[in-house]
Structure 1
Amino acid sequence: MRKDAQINQQKILDAAANLFKERAVSKVSMKDIAQVAGIGTGTLYRNFPNKSELCMALSLDYIQQFITGEEAQLQNPSSSANKQFEDFLTRWLEFRERRIQLLTEIETGPSVMSTFYHSPLYQQLVNLTMQALKPISDNISKAELKFRADMLISMLKSDSYAYQREQGLTREQIAINISHLMIKRCD
């Protein structure tokens, strides 16, 4: 990428991040972002065809940081497998909650999610989730473990999570209830 294009892209990301701190993501237009970045709307759309793509670019570093931190957590278990899984879920929900507006914009975007599902970063997220699930999953196949990881990530998308919060559940209660779905009980 040309140096001036990199500079413009960084201006756009910085402007969007600042605007998203001031106002809800849904209340910020692409025109607002271009204006604050000091660039034309054409330049903005050449870099990011829609707000969902822009939100994805802002989120990539956050997601990578979460994955890196959780890999370290899972390497050093300090409690039972069940408790470790509940803690992983709680941290994932906390991460999602802090970035709910960006993630909602990504999840409702026209083409972003299909691109994300095929990205190396999504595969890292699936692998991380498989790592969290494995100790509580008895002797299931790798394919079933991957399926569970995909489904777990899917069931924790913003709209589903927000609905459960509207029902009065806390983040911790949601993590415990999901754990009960995922952990094979031998009562």
Structure 2
Amino acid sequence: MLQRTERKDAAKHRELILQTAAQLFNKQGVDSVSMHQIAKTAGIGQGTLYRRYSCKAELCIELLMDSFEKFVKANDQYLSAAAERPVHERFKTFLSKWIDYIADKVQWLNAIKPSSLCSDDHLRIYRSPPFTYVTGVIKQLLDEGIQTETIVPVNTSFAAFNVASSLSPESFLFLYSDQKLTPEQIKEHFINFYWKLLFRNP
């Protein structure tokens, strides 16, 4: 009975922590919120918070997983329904959907950049499920392009990694804030660059 009670309490604490963090992040911005503030607002001890999450980056990762799972489900449905469409069309549409997701979640995504992770393994982000999913989809489309001779000969694993990593949340924010590009302009330039670079007779 004691173990079951502890598990129930742990689940309540997790839900409370995530709900509180999401509200504070949305209201004040991730950078402006401290772990101390999250614990105080949630009415729990800092030890309880830190036993589950070592830093804000880990909180953001968990908060993002639900929305990313929805992104994956919607994209997989699109790729299945559009299987007969030209590969360059699916390539452009996927990048468009991915950039829309980055634009919508850029603040939270930027909080989980490698330098913010609570680990000395700064390459961890490139092994994360979201990054491996995106690179996997891009590689699959490029592999199909190789088979149908619609793209130039490339190492598709290398190309997919570079496409996925070249528009990080940090670079998106720089283009938006410093270069004064709208999200639609960023999307247009990014997609056109790789489309013309990789595909024959774009």
Give yes or no for the alignment of 1:109 onto 2:116: yes
Higher relative contact order (CA 8 A, sep 6+): 1
Report what 1:91 is aligned to: 97
Runs of 4+ in structure 1 deviating by more than 4 angstroms, as ranges, are: 119-122
Indicate the SS of the match to 1:64.
helix
Larger CA Rg, structure 1 vs 2: 2
Deviation at 1:50, TM superposition (A): 0.6
Point out where structure 2 has 5 or more consecutive residues left out of the alignment. Answer: 1-5
Distance (whole Å) between structure 1 residues aligned to residue 140 and residue 53 of structure 2: 33
CA contact (8 A) 2:131 2:164 kept: no
Q: In the TM superposition, what whole-angstrom CA distance separates every residue of 1:124-183 from its partner, at most 9, and x where no partner exists?
A: 33322323433434469xx932332222221121122233334334322322223223x2
Give yes or no for the alignment of 1:179 onto 2:195: yes
Deviation at 1:116, TM superposition (A): 4.1
Name which of 52, 56, 60 aligns with 2:61.
Answer: 56
CA contact (8 A) 1:93 1:171 kept: yes
Indicate the SS of the match to 1:170.
helix
- Taking only the aligned residue pairs, the percentage that are identical comes to 30
Report what 2:106 is aligned to: 100
Q: In the TM superposition, what whole-angstrom CA distance separates every residue of 1:59-111 from its partner, at most 9, and x where no partner exists?
A: 11222221121111111227532222112111100101110011001014133
Point out where structure 1 has 5 or more consecutive residues left out of the alignment. Answer: none
Report what 2:140 is aligned to: 131
CA contact (8 A) 1:164 1:174 kept: no
> Given residue 185 of structure 1, which amino acid in structure 2 is its aligned partner?
R
CA contact (8 A) 1:106 1:113 kept: no
Deviation at 1:120, TM superposition (A): 4.8
Report what 2:73 is aligned to: 68
Please, which moves more after superposition, 157-166 or 95-104? 157-166
Give the structure-1-normalised TM-score. Answer: 0.84
Indicate the SS of the match to 1:185.
coil
> Given residue 158 of structure 2, which amino acid in structure 1 is its aligned partner?
F
Report what 2:3 is aligned to: none
> Given residue 9 of structure 2, which amino acid in structure 1 is its aligned partner?
D
Give the structure-2-normalised TM-score. Answer: 0.78
Report what 1:159 is aligned to: 170
Cα RMSD of the aligned pairs, angstroms, is 2.6
Distance (whole Å) between structure 2 residues aligned to residue 13 and residue 19 of structure 1: 10
Give yes or no for the alignment of 1:21 onto 2:37: no
CA contact (8 A) 2:21 2:38 kept: yes
Distance (whole Å) between structure 1 residues aligned to residue 125 and residue 11 of structure 2: 22
Distance (whole Å) between structure 2 residues aligned to residue 76 and residue 29 of structure 1: 44
Deviation at 1:186, TM superposition (A): 4.7
> Given residue 109 of structure 1, which amino acid in structure 2 is its aligned partner?
S
Indicate the SS of the match to 2:50.
helix
Report what 1:170 is aligned to: 186
